[in-house]
Structure 1
Amino acid sequence: MSEKKKITGTQRRYTTKKSIKFMDVAAKVMISLGGLGTIIAVAGVFIFLASVVVPLFAPAEMTPAQKISNIEDKTKQAPLLIVDEFQLSAWTLEDAGASARAFVLNDGETLLRTPVFAEETPQAWAYDSLSETLIAAFADGRIELKNIGFRTRFLLDEQVLPGFLQEMEVGSALPWDEGIVQRTPIGQLRQLKLELESEAHVATEHDGIRLISMINTNSGPVLTYLTQDGVLRIQRMVSRRNLLTGQVTTTVTGGSLQLDLDRRGLPQWLELSGRGDTAFLAWSDGHLLRIDSRNFNALAVAEELSLIPDGKATLTSLSFLIGRTTLVAGDSQGRLNAWFRTRPEGTATSDGSRLTLVHDLGQGPAAVTALAPSTRSRLLAAGFADGTVRTYHVTSDQLLVEERAGQGAVAAVALAPRDNLLAALVPSGLMGWYLDNKHPTATWHTLFGKVHYEGMNEPGYVWQSTGGTDDFEPKYSLIPLIYGTLKATFFSMFFGVPLALLAAVYTSEFLEDKRVKAQVKPLVELMESLPTVVLGFLAALVFAVFVEGQTASVLAAFITVPLAFVVAAYLFLLLPIDKFVRFSRFRFYIIALLALPIGILLARQLGPVLEALLFAGDIKAWLDGQIGTGIGGWFLLLLPLSSFVVILFYGLKVNPWLRNRTSGMTRFGTGMAEIVKFICGIVIVVVMSWIAASLLTAAGIDIRGDFPFTGQIMGTYVQRNALVVGFVMGFAIIPAVYTIAEDALSSVPEHLRSGSLSAGASPWQTAIRIIIPTAASGLFSAVMLGLGRAVGETMIVLMATGNTPVMEMNIFNGFRTLSANIAVELPEAIIYGTHFRILFLAALTLFLLTFTINTIAEVIRQRFRKRAFQL
């Protein structure tokens, strides 16, 4: 068989070895598998994150649990229903507050029926489910407080118990000794029993008490009551127990306010806020009277308003949510609205706040007849006149579940302490449902939109996942974390990328000493070996302290160091041509050992001068808004913009004109003309910046104020701030950006460089117009690599910032990034809880953010690469 000839007709003089062919195929397969494995790994990460996040948005579920019809009519009409935390029993307050009945939740069997106040019927009563305290007022003016609720105890000595209790299986429950006993999963016997305990009683000597309310505070109960004659009293009860006799002495202090009730008569509701600083009186027509009770001895009417603004309905239900700050009102048209106090500017009320309608929960199928707030979250159960029951999550304005309990109006609703059971009393009996509320605090709106939380004057983006009390409401907006991530990336790129790219251009195109070049590049690459935790440690404990003490000098360095470089370059131009060529090889040493130290020294000396001229002598007080005007801050901020305008003007107008005028001058004369031009440019930049800063300040625009999208640009100084993070993270991304950029520049074909120089272009013109456009794809890749490093950085931002999720571009304040937030909070999050899944959503957001940026960057890089091939 003849050998195959080449196209020229000659035969091949060699054959490829089988081993080489095998290695070629193996390499191709391995590279393909590697690429495929990378795709699978990235897809796997995405799928895993998504699998944890998707259940976050699952709808709530409601499953039928109990249906009891064999209970007495007065129980079906009881105004108060309480369920125990283990979903075994419940109790109701009946006979107008005179008696209580505990019963088994599955079949309605009575466990205990007892008079609460020795068979005496109170004139007014109120129950606080959080503290399990019942307060009642009687005809003789006496007020009694009772602690009533289910108590849990474990029956440890089973030998003395009846045999049917000893033989109980795990999970089973039986009534015994006026309570209910259940075998726990670990084999213990747990008994729940309704118990009453007298806390205090007070003889007020004010008969005719019609409405009463109370709260428990750290210093004792605070109660308020309204008498028939229209006098509102708010009092604090302090009880002291004699350690010798055991006798309890109760002292009552407070004040009163005479109300004019001639027009509307007695109100139907009286409520007291969680701190006791406000009392609310409401009438059935929706009129509400808010009493300022911060000083019990000087009660005053703070505000009057209508809870039904359109006046087309009557108020049927009123209740506080947990914390007793948000007031929920239901009316005869089935509408539910939530109100709480805000503090708008210019409010003329006595306490500077006003009650604001914040949450509209929509309209139900009939009049609202019963409300039951959760004791652990912002859930609310509501019953309607047609027998419908609903649960809402108030903060997110969500209707979670809805079910029909039966015919007729709902007399009372109850949420179990763990929010896992909903019970309702209707004319046909008791209905119960198991609840799986999923994650009601997490919606697209609460995660990425503005939410009006309690204590805030207006909606905002807030991340605050933990609090000190049960009254706290978790806030899960990811926007501050995304904002902090972008802020950290911006300042680190702002500091690091220009230095890295300029250093790469210098070492590739202008550093003529090959020996120095061979040493500089490995030295810069060695910077990348520093652990980020070490950089974060140095930033937090060294750099942050230094910058705080030398803030003005650090700001001055942004001016003096570049000026020192430029002045050194202009002075270098004054040298004769032979000396210029001779000393060109020492430019690196001149920059590193002469210009840079001079710039730093000037910054150290000019810092106090700059502080005195621009910041009234104290930059910290100026940033805090205590002294001075905004001119100094605007001046510094406008310097780069003014410099860009002047450079553009010089390039278009001044440089061509000056080139014609200096064409016949000596080198020294040309250099002096350039120096004069430079000095004039500095003067123009300073004047332009100062005039613009003065105009902005005269227009009332202070740089220390809040701006849309950016928040404060300059504001209160915090030691661990974005300035420090920008320095250190910029230092961290320089090696990667520099290395890839320098390799891209050095890879430009030498004939392009030689052709440009031979055509008469200067090295600078060659670099700007030939080398950089050709290496644009590589330079862009270097920048994108630095961007990816900055976006995902964790330890530096974790240690060097205040880690506060604030939304402002103030370089003197901190922030919190997505990655740092995950590192801080994930170890403490309950697995598969709302917080846990939202942290995974933060990780998914960071994943999608970097994936999107890298995809766009790759598209742009490919475009640059095609243009480079065309050169």
Structure 2
Amino acid sequence: MLEAQEVERQDIAAREIEVRLYAAEKKTRVQRKKLADKVARVAITAGGVGIILSVVAILFVIVAETLPLWRAPVAEQENTVNLNLVEGDGARSTRAGELPGSPRAMVKPLALGVDEYQEITYLVTEAGTVDFLSLADNHLLQRYPIRGLKDQHPTVVYSDGIHRTIAVGTANGMVIPLMIQFSTAFQNGERANTPKVTEGEPFQLDPEGRPITALVYREEEGKIAAAALLGPRLLVFFAQREKSSPLGPTGSEEYRLDLSPALKADVTALALDQSQSHLLAGTAAGEVYHWQVDDPASPRLADTFAVGQKVGVGISALGWVLGDRSLIVGDTAGGVSVWFQVRDQQRPQETPYRQIQVLRSHSAPVTVIAPSPRDKGFLTADATGTVLLHHATSAQTLLELHAGSNALGLLAFAPKANGVLTVDTQGQLFHWHIHNPHPEISLKTLFGKVWYEGYDHPDYTWQSSSGSDEFEPKFSLTPLAYGTLKGTFYALLLAIPTSICGAIYTSQFMHPSLRSFVKPTIEVMAALPSVVLGFFAGLWLAPRVEKIIPAVFLMLVALPLVTLAASFLWRLVPLSR
């Protein structure tokens, strides 16, 4: 009896010890879980806050990167040069009877340009010289006499600010091509620009020796084309082509054609594209004549179109946007419009010019047009001293510059499109530095339909770059947004039924041990923002996948086939006994 009671007491004591140990162990586990919960809560909270801050930081970066796109262009006027009173340096610019550094009167300039650093401007003058002036101190740095003139004097000068070519027309019907270049060297840490004038071979455009009053000139790969006015309605086209044979060039052949019979009004402006295919002449009646001149032996009058609807408004200036596909038309009422060829739907073989953009007008007749050498922008100047900066693609007028109240006869863009120079009829040269990095951006170009060069109609297009400097950027975000929504829609068509079926299988049919692993994994993946997953995939996953991209695509086909084959073979294996 006593032994039984002793055993019972010992059992009770053992059970009490076990209960105490279990309680202590349970308390320890609870404390560990609480600690783990606290650590997890802090980690999850820190991660969530970090993700929120990261997303906010990304938004700030996006805003910081896109904000400059909407900043208005800025122009800063530099010093004004009085060309009637320019100081010479005595070493290269003085004439007999003049003292070094003494002021001397400048003759009328016929063409204007500037180097890429906007330190030296050059003027082709009526005296038959090319004068290089310092924009910093108004000194005449160098004077180059045009040797091809001989005893003749220039009557008109054509200047191509994009290709740096100049053609001088004379009083006896001769044309002298020029090329102006600047070489840069560094001496003792300072930059020195040295101008160089190269004369081409002069040619007699008019054999009768009549004075040239207006001129356009193009030269490319040995081909020369020019058109000149020898009177209000006397238009002559000239072309020079090299003869070739299997043994090489054998000389050149010249073409001269009188285009005057087609004219019904006085010609006031000319334009010839760089490919020497299209010659256009604007008239005082407000019409533009378009000749197809790619075959110089037989130019063809392809089209005649009226620019304005107002009676008595004539064409005062013609020019090209970079690439020579879009034609800029300025008229005597101050109107500015952009035209380019569009295929005729009724006659697909014909591509007449159509008006694409109408930009802000001047309050006086447009006198001169200058294209940007970097983009689809251009300058227009009028008879009251106003210069407007336009952009053809975005149809915006970005800047208005004022150069006194006199008419402006010469206008030039800096080679980097970051400067503007103009000369008025009184010999005052005005110079501005401009900052205009994103002229093609507007709400219309980002979200609306835009009529691009070479297109038959306005369209939503995204094409941000090309291999050509003459490319017209296309920044429509509409196709990008539409493509994103379309991709999302098709992805949802696949993802929604797959995810619902997967959720049903996981909750109702999957083994509990496997579900305890799969369910938390899916919940963690759902908690991660797609931005973070994309960032992770772009920086870590993509560089590794790109090395095995063929295997990744083959895996989509090979994995199901291998799985099916393995299961089929497994069923053929005999059961062990």
TM-score tier, shorter chain, comes to 0.7 to 0.9
TM alignment of 1:548-567, pairs within 5 A: none
Q: Is the 8 A contact 1:255 1:298 kept in 2?
A: no
Name the structure 1 match of 2:388: 390
Name the structure 1 match of 2:376: 378
Q: Is the 8 A contact 2:111 2:158 kept in 1?
A: no
d(CA) in 1 for partners of 2:312 and 2:165? 36
More helix by share: 1
Provide, for residues 473-501 of structure 1, a one-character-per-residue CA deviation record: whole Å limited to 9, x for no partner: 22222222223333333333334443443
Compute the displacement of 1:343 (Å): 1.0
Name the structure 2 match of 1:256: 257
Compute the displacement of 1:119 (Å): 4.8
| CA-based RMSD | 4.1
Change in Cα spacing, 1:271 to 1:24, as seen in structure 2 (3 Å) is: closer
Partner SS, residue 298 of structure 1 = coil
Q: Is the 8 A contact 2:506 2:515 kept in 1?
A: no
Name the structure 2 match of 1:200: 201
Q: Is the 8 A contact 2:330 2:366 kept in 1?
A: yes
TM alignment of 1:2-41, pairs within 5 A: 30-41=43-54
Q: Is the 8 A contact 2:268 2:315 kept in 1?
A: no
Q: Is the 8 A contact 1:200 1:250 kept in 2?
A: no
Q: What amino acid is the match of 1:407? A: S
Name the structure 2 match of 1:105: 135
Provide, for residues 797-844 of structure 1, a one-character-per-residue CA deviation record: whole Å limited to 9, x for no partner: xxxxxxxxxxxxxxxxxxxxxxxxxxxxxxxxxxxxxxxxxxxxxxxx
Name the structure 1 match of 2:224: 221
Compute the displacement of 1:420 (Å): 1.6
Partner SS, residue 144 of structure 2 = strand
Name the structure 1 match of 2:418: 420
Compute the displacement of 1:280 (Å): 0.5
The yes-or-no answer on 1:433 pairing with 2:432 is: yes
Task: Flag the structure with more relative contact order, 1 or 2, with Cα contacts below 8 A and sequence separation at least 6.
Answer: 1
Unpaired runs of 5+ residues, structure 2, are: 1-25, 87-104, 526-532, 559-563, 569-577
Change in Cα spacing, 1:75 to 1:454, as seen in structure 2 (3 Å) is: farther
Compute the displacement of 1:61 (Å): 0.8
TM alignment of 1:443-842, pairs within 5 A: 443-502=442-501, 504-505=503-504, 534=545, 537-538=549-550
Q: What amino acid is the match of 2:265? A: R
Partner SS, residue 296 of structure 1 = coil
Compute the displacement of 1:389 (Å): 2.0
Q: Is the 8 A contact 2:287 2:314 kept in 1?
A: no
d(CA) in 1 for partners of 2:554 and 2:27? 65
d(CA) in 2 for partners of 1:464 and 1:420? 25
Compute the displacement of 1:371 (Å): 1.9
Q: Is the 8 A contact 1:386 1:408 kept in 2?
A: yes
Name the structure 1 match of 2:403: 405
d(CA) in 2 for partners of 1:92 and 1:494? 68
Compute the displacement of 1:304 (Å): 0.8
Q: Is the 8 A contact 2:382 2:407 kept in 1?
A: yes
Name the structure 1 match of 2:327: 327
Compute the displacement of 1:545 (Å): 12
The yes-or-no answer on 1:68 pairing with 2:81 is: yes
Q: What amino acid is the match of 1:332? A: T
Compute the displacement of 1:311 (Å): 2.8
Corresponding pairs, count: 490
Q: Is the 8 A contact 1:121 1:138 kept in 2?
A: yes
Which among 83, 108, 115 is matched to residue 114 of structure 2? 83
Compute the displacement of 1:428 (Å): 6.5
Q: Is the 8 A contact 1:99 1:119 kept in 2?
A: no
The yes-or-no answer on 1:51 pairing with 2:49 is: no
Change in Cα spacing, 1:102 to 1:231, as seen in structure 2 (3 Å) is: closer
Compute the displacement of 1:28 (Å): 5.0
Change in Cα spacing, 1:483 to 1:87, as seen in structure 2 (3 Å) is: same
The yes-or-no answer on 1:132 pairing with 2:164 is: yes
Q: Is the 8 A contact 1:274 1:324 kept in 2?
A: yes
Q: Is the 8 A contact 2:255 2:297 kept in 1?
A: yes
- TM-score normalized with structure 2 length: 0.73
Change in Cα spacing, 1:382 to 1:239, as seen in structure 2 (3 Å) is: farther
Compute the displacement of 1:538 (Å): 3.6
Name the structure 2 match of 1:369: 367
After TM superposition, the structure 1 stretch with the greater mean CA deviation from structure 2, 402-411 or 217-226, is: 217-226
Q: Is the 8 A contact 1:382 1:389 kept in 2?
A: yes
Name the structure 1 match of 2:528: none
Q: What amino acid is the match of 2:452? A: Y
Provide, for residues 201-251 of structure 1, a one-character-per-residue CA deviation record: whole Å limited to 9, x for no partner: 3345633355432223345333334556846435243399xxxxxxx9851
Provide, for residues 636-679 of structure 1, a one-character-per-residue CA deviation record: whole Å limited to 9, x for no partner: xxxxxxxxxxxxxxxxxxxxxxxxxxxxxxxxxxxxxxxxxxxx
Unpaired runs of 5+ residues, structure 1, are: 1-13, 157-165, 167-186, 241-247, 547-588, 594-871
d(CA) in 1 for partners of 2:220 and 2:384? 38
Q: Is the 8 A contact 2:316 2:331 kept in 1?
A: yes
Provide, for residues 688-714 of structure 1, a one-character-per-residue CA deviation record: whole Å limited to 9, x for no partner: xxxxxxxxxxxxxxxxxxxxxxxxxxx
d(CA) in 2 for partners of 1:221 and 1:469? 23
Name the structure 1 match of 2:339: 339
d(CA) in 2 for partners of 1:205 and 1:456? 39
Partner SS, residue 197 of structure 1 = strand
Compute the displacement of 1:372 (Å): 1.5
d(CA) in 1 for partners of 2:164 and 2:243? 18
Provide, for residues 119-168 of structure 1, a one-character-per-residue CA deviation record: whole Å limited to 9, x for no partner: 52245542222222222444555433222x24214266xxxxxxxxx6xx
Q: Is the 8 A contact 1:274 1:325 kept in 2?
A: no
Q: Is the 8 A contact 1:226 1:233 kept in 2?
A: no
Compute the displacement of 1:335 (Å): 1.8
Task: State, as a whole percentage, how many aligned pairs show the same letter.
Answer: 23
Q: What amino acid is the match of 1:436? A: H
d(CA) in 1 for partners of 2:129 and 2:296? 33
Name the structure 2 match of 1:306: 306
Partner SS, residue 416 of structure 2 = coil
Q: Is the 8 A contact 2:284 2:313 kept in 1?
A: no
The yes-or-no answer on 1:190 pairing with 2:192 is: yes
Partner SS, residue 460 of structure 2 = coil
Partner SS, residue 201 of structure 2 = strand
Change in Cα spacing, 1:297 to 1:255, as seen in structure 2 (3 Å) is: farther
Compute the displacement of 1:471 (Å): 1.7
Q: Is the 8 A contact 2:265 2:285 kept in 1?
A: no
Q: Is the 8 A contact 1:206 1:227 kept in 2?
A: no
d(CA) in 2 for partners of 1:105 and 1:78? 16
Compute the displacement of 1:421 (Å): 1.5
d(CA) in 2 for partners of 1:21 and 1:514? 28
Partner SS, residue 72 of structure 2 = coil
Provide, for residues 375-397 of structure 1, a one-character-per-residue CA deviation record: whole Å limited to 9, x for no partner: 22222122222222222222212
d(CA) in 2 for partners of 1:338 and 1:276? 20
Q: Is the 8 A contact 1:213 1:271 kept in 2?
A: yes
